[in-house]
Amino acid sequence: MQLCDLTAVEIRDHIISKKASAVEVLKSCLQRIKQVDGRLGELESGPEAKEDTERVHAFITITEDTARAQAEAIDKMIAEGKDPGPLAGIPATIKDVFCVKGTPSTMGSRILANFNSPYTATPVARMQSAGAVVLGKVNMDEFTFGSSTESSAFQPSTRNPWDTNRVPGGSSGGSAASVSAGEAPVSLGTDTAGSTRQPAAFCGVVGVKPTYGRVSRYGLIAFGSSLDCPGPVARNAKDAALVLRTIAGSDSRDATGANLPVPDYLKLLENEIKGKRIGLSPDYFQITFPNPETGKYLQQLVPKEIRDAVMKAADIYRSLGAEIIEDVPMPNTCYGVPVYFVISRVEAASNLHRFDGVKYGHRTVSETGNLKTMYAKSRGEGFGLQPKLRILMGMYVSAAQYSEQYYKRALRVRTLIRKDFEQVFDRDGRYKLDALLTPTTPTTAFPMKAVYGDSVLMQYADQLTVPANHAGIPGISFPGGLDADGLPIGVQLLGPDFSEGVLLQLTHAYEQATLDTDWRKISPAVLREVKDG
């Protein structure tokens, strides 16, 4: 087995026990990247070559020199008997939504293509202080607007390692794909409407959306300020727990960070799940959407394969002593997407105001002699269509005459969505759940270019993930099998505020119970030649 295919915990243990050096691990990852990733995403990428369609293209920037320096420093510390930290030598990829000092931090957009960040985001800094080796910045939907990574200004955009004709999901597509393809054991992504969990589901890896405020947002280029959650992507619960433990916790630079101690998530993994109450809700096994012609609500059941994967997980939990409670009502789930449409766009339009060509990023080179024109041209040239769409929608919804009607109303519906969760998680309520078990997405990875032009349908796919963002609660997606096309199916757990420990524990229990299943023996398509070779 290659070093780069080991788990993060295994890699760290290897390095600390000197079975392998951090530099060797780094080399292994870099070699894997060379084998499967293909060319970097770039602005003027030219036409798509055939080879492009067979590669992963997770990266926008590879920071090989600093990674090497970091790895050498780790090895030196170990040689000197010093403690390099809990993430010693673990290679990591960072979604390009995070500012990392000295690297281009692009947000997948032309408007920030030349932005070299003068500071590092807190979660990344914490990983670095703990000894992680940052390999580079990975691709994403432009400004996180999308569910397939295709809207990135840096092309070729990322492809799914399981089938490179399919999307990796988005917006943290690069994060999920890089971990899935063995380029790094862990990645740091962000989840605003499911953007860590959905690509994790599509790429067959674990994706964590922590509770809002659990992980500092300082340095996370903002889109949906009340929704964004940085979180780890990893191959298993243990690795995810390790990273989460490192990055979580209050930060004096984030006024929305929860002032609560961080549990040792690793220790909690081995807790018994006997007696845990896990709910199944019919509202999560269907997609409820309005008929575009009539506006009436239609229901479409989630495909049987996906449903079966979730029910299988329920069986496993039952066999381990958990109680499965069925028919848990979550009636406001279907409003998650329209509420998200409104709230996220108001926040996004405002958050994107700062990209005006004055202080950083793209400024138009055409002669303007006029500030207003400079703004309009810089932003017009720098933003892709998807950001422009969201900005305009945000402007419309928050304009003075509509604000009360649309924006404030959406905030009230958000309360209803939150109440659904409060009621089922209430210790004194009827259901007393420890977690809800649901599918992550209503489909497995769809083909490239399938829905890029039709934003409404792409958005309704977030229906099962976005309620957690509105409510602020944590969620995890973990691999629960493969569908008939051999594509990964994601299973999701949702829990009460700050219950990441329980969710990781449940994920771990599922993993342990399914270690020898057949589908775990199958690897992503891009790796099949590599591994054999």
Partner 1 sequence: MAEYEAVIGLETHIQLNTKTKIFCSCKADSWDEKPNTNICPVCTGLPGVLPVLNEKVVEKAVLLSEAMHAQMQPISYFDRKNYFYPDLPKGYQISQFDKPIAKGGYIDVSIPETADPQGKGYTRRVRIHKLHIEEDAGKTKNAHNIRRVDFNRCGVPLIEMVTEPDLRTADEAAQYLIRLRQLLRWLGISEVEMERGNLRCDGNVSIRLKGNEALNEKTEIKNVNSIDSLRDAIRKEIDRQIRETEKGNKIHAWTLEWDEDAGVLRKMRSKETEADYRYFREPDLLPLQISEVWKDSILKDFPERPLDRRQRFSDQYDLPMYDADILTLERGLSEFFEEAAAAYKGEPKKISNWLMNDVMRMINDQKLDPLKMRLTPAYLAEILKLVDERTINITTGKSLLQTVQDTGKSPTELVKEQGLAQVSDDAQIREICVNIVKDNPKEAAAFRNGKESIIGWFVGQVMQESRGKADAKMAKEILTELLCK
Partner 2 sequence: MAKSKQEISRETFDYLVELAALDLNKDEADYLLTELNNQISAIQELEAIDIDEDVPPAMHGVSYTPENSPPLRTDDWIECEDADAIIEQSPVMDDRYIIVPDIPHTTLE
How far CA 45 is from CA of 107, 146, 154, 241, in Å, comes to 17, 20, 7, 37
Question: Applying CB under 8 A, does 301 fall inside the site for partner 2?
Answer: no
CB of 210 to partner 1, least distance (A): 17
Question: Applying CB under 8 A, does 146 fall inside the site for partner 1?
Answer: no
112 binding partner (options partner 1, partner 2, none; Cβ < 5 to 8 Å by kind): partner 1
450 binding partner (options partner 2, partner 1, none; Cβ < 5 to 8 Å by kind): none
Q: In Å, how far from its chain's centre is CA 394?
A: 23
Kindly identify the residues of this chain, within the stretch 466-525, that bind partner 2 according to CB under 8 A: 469-473, 497
d(CA 487, CA 499): 29
- Residue 31: name the closest of 188, 173, 138, 182 by CA: 182
- Residue 74: name the closest of 147, 139, 20 by CA: 20
Residues 6+ apart with CB under 8 A from 21: 15, 71, 75, 89
Kindly identify the residues of this chain, within the stretch 374-393, that bind partner 1 according to CB under 8 A: 375
Q: Tell me whether residue 65 or residue 293 sits nearer to partner 2 (CB atom).
A: 293
Kindly identify the residues of this chain, within the stretch 167-196, that bind partner 1 according to CB under 8 A: none
> Which one of 134-142, 271-279, 350-358, 496-504 is the stretch in contact with partner 1 (CB under 8 A)?
350-358
To the query of whether residue 377 is one of the catalytic residues in this protein, the response is no
Reduce the DSSP state of residue 94 to 3 states and report it: strand
Question: Applying CB under 8 A, does 292 fall inside the site for partner 2?
Answer: yes
d(CA 171, CA 185): 19
- Residue 130: name the closest of 76, 88, 101, 100 by CA: 88
Calculate Rg over the CA atoms of the chain: 22
Question: Applying CB under 8 A, does 321 fall inside the site for partner 1?
Answer: no
- What is the identity of the amino acid at 401? Q
Of the candidates 148, 195, 398, 455, the residue annotated as catalytic is 195
Kindly identify the residues of this chain, within the stretch 309-348, that bind partner 2 according to CB under 8 A: 335, 337-339, 341-342
Q: At 502, phi and psi to the nearest 5?
A: -65, -40
Q: Tell me whether residue 256 or residue 300 sits nearer to partner 1 (CB atom).
A: 256
Site string for partner 1, 46-85 (x = CB under 8 A): ----------------------------------------
Residues 6+ apart with CB under 8 A from 435: 276, 277, 278, 279, 493, 494, 495, 499, 502, 503, 506
Q: At 139, phi and psi to the nearest 5?
A: -75, 160
Question: Applying CB under 8 A, does 129 fall inside the site for partner 1?
Answer: no
Size of the site for partner 1 (CB under 8 A): 44
CB of 342 to partner 1, least distance (A): 11
CB of 396 to partner 1, least distance (A): 10
274 C-beta neighbours (distance < 10 Å), count:
10
Q: How far apart are the first and last CA of the chain?
A: 11
Residues 6+ apart with CB under 8 A from 408: none
Of the candidates 95, 209, 276, 377, the residue annotated as catalytic is 95
Residue 158 DSSP class: P
Q: Tell me whether residue 380 or residue 486 sits nearer to partner 2 (CB atom).
A: 380
Size of the site for partner 2 (CB under 8 A): 81
The arrangement of strands across the sheet holding 475-482 comes to: 59-62, 133-138, 91-95, 186-191, 229-234, 206-209, 475-482, 488-494, 435-439, 277-279, 323-325
Question: Applying CB under 8 A, does 356 fall inside the site for partner 1?
Answer: yes
> Which one of 173-181, 184-192, 360-368, 442-450 is the stretch in contact with partner 2 (CB under 8 A)?
360-368
Kindly identify the residues of this chain, within the stretch 98-127, that bind partner 1 according to CB under 8 A: 98-99, 105, 107, 112, 115, 117-119, 121
Q: At 160, phi and psi to the nearest 5?
A: -75, 125
98 binding partner (options partner 2, partner 1, none; Cβ < 5 to 8 Å by kind): partner 1
277 binding partner (options partner 1, partner 2, none; Cβ < 5 to 8 Å by kind): none
Kindly identify the residues of this chain, within the stretch 256-315, that bind partner 1 according to CB under 8 A: 256
CB of 115 to partner 2, least distance (A): 6
Q: Which of 18, 83, 129, 380 binds partner 2 (CB under 8 A)?
A: 380
Q: Tell me whether residue 398 or residue 463 sits nearer to partner 1 (CB atom).
A: 398
d(CA 436, CA 308): 16
Kindly identify the residues of this chain, within the stretch 109-168, that bind partner 2 according to CB under 8 A: 115-116, 118-119
450 C-beta neighbours (distance < 10 Å), count:
16
Question: Applying CB under 8 A, does 371 fall inside the site for partner 1?
Answer: yes
To the query of whether residue 117 is one of the catalytic residues in this protein, the response is no
Residue carrying the six token digits 């920030």: 112
Q: Tell me whether residue 77 or residue 413 sits nearer to partner 1 (CB atom).
A: 413
Of the candidates 28, 152, 157, 171, the residue annotated as catalytic is 171
d(CA 452, CA 211): 30
Catalytic residues: 95, 171, 195
Return residues touching partner 1 (CB under 8 A).
Answer: 98-99, 105, 107, 112, 115, 117-119, 121, 217-222, 225-226, 252-256, 346-347, 349-350, 352-356, 358-360, 369, 371, 375, 395, 398-400, 403, 407
